[in-house]
Amino acid sequence: MAKQQHIFNFPEGEMLLIDKPLNWTSFDVVNFLRSFIRKMYNIKKLKVGHAGTLDPLATGLLIICTGKLTKKIDAYQGMDKTYVGNLKMGYTTPSYDAETESDNKFDTSQLSNIELIKATELFKGEIEQVPPIYSAIKVAGKRAFKHARKNEEVHLKSRKVTVHEFDLYNIDLPDINFRVRCSKGTYIRSLVHDFGKSLRNGAYMTGLRRTEIGDYKVAEAYTVEEFRKIVLEQAVLFNK
């Protein structure tokens, strides 16, 4: 599927593939697109939503729906997701990624490549997973990460998710690259944390990129800047 080149009709409904930038939240992307489209086309009100959150420190594929197509967001959310990323063995962090400083250190000198690869088998198929406390899940009406940042106690329930593929490559301890294909609702940070724990060691995620949602691929997606330029060009013609 090539990048979309048709004339947009945002109120009627568009499904957009966007490559989320680093340090943007998924809501940042939605809010930017909504505001920009409304301004360019003089639209007073426009529904815009995304089909699956990416953390600020992650990049990659977001499916954005506008107008009447926001009704299809649940269908897109239900699709399997594919990620590539990096993890660091021998350490843990409270957020399970690089957002927070390391709180534990472990010796990785005895870990072998065979042992590491074998441990991935524990996480394939349907598994129970507890989301990170540094997540957007609501607890007592407030996002869990807001409780966590204030050092307030947070209890999150485990959930069943399915990991179809979990592969390691470029193993150069303490750094490892990985690829995961999984069901909706899977937290890759938790997967990495639990992977380290299964080896009586530690691990946290140092980078993540979502490459696929169902059959949609990040290679087909617009960067925010590419999309902005296309909309700007079309809006000029629209408003003539």
| Domain boundaries defined on the chain | 15-78+215-238, 81-213
Q: Is 107 a catalytic residue?
A: no
Residue 116: phi and psi, rounded to 5, are -65, -50
Could you say which residues of the chain have pLDDT below 50?
Answer: 1-2
Choice among 19, 28, 55, 107 that is catalytic? 55
Q: Measured over all CA atoms, what is the biggest interatomic distance in the chain, rounded to whole angstroms?
A: 69
How confident is the model at residue 163, as a pLDDT? 98
Q: What is the structure's pLDDT at 1?
A: 44
pTM summary value: 0.90
The yes/no answer on whether domain 81-213 falls in CATH 3.30.2350.10 is yes
- Measured CA to CA, the distance from residue 21 to residue 94 in angstroms comes to 24
pLDDT of the residue at 152 = 67
Cα angle, residue 121 at apex, residues 115 and 125 outer, rounded to 5° = 165
Q: What angle do CA 74, 77, 78 make, to 5 degrees?
A: 90
Distances 103 to 99, 179, 181 between C-alpha atoms, Å: 12, 26, 29
The answer to whether residues 212 and 84 touch, using CB atoms and an 8 Å cutoff, is no
pLDDT of residue 131: 86
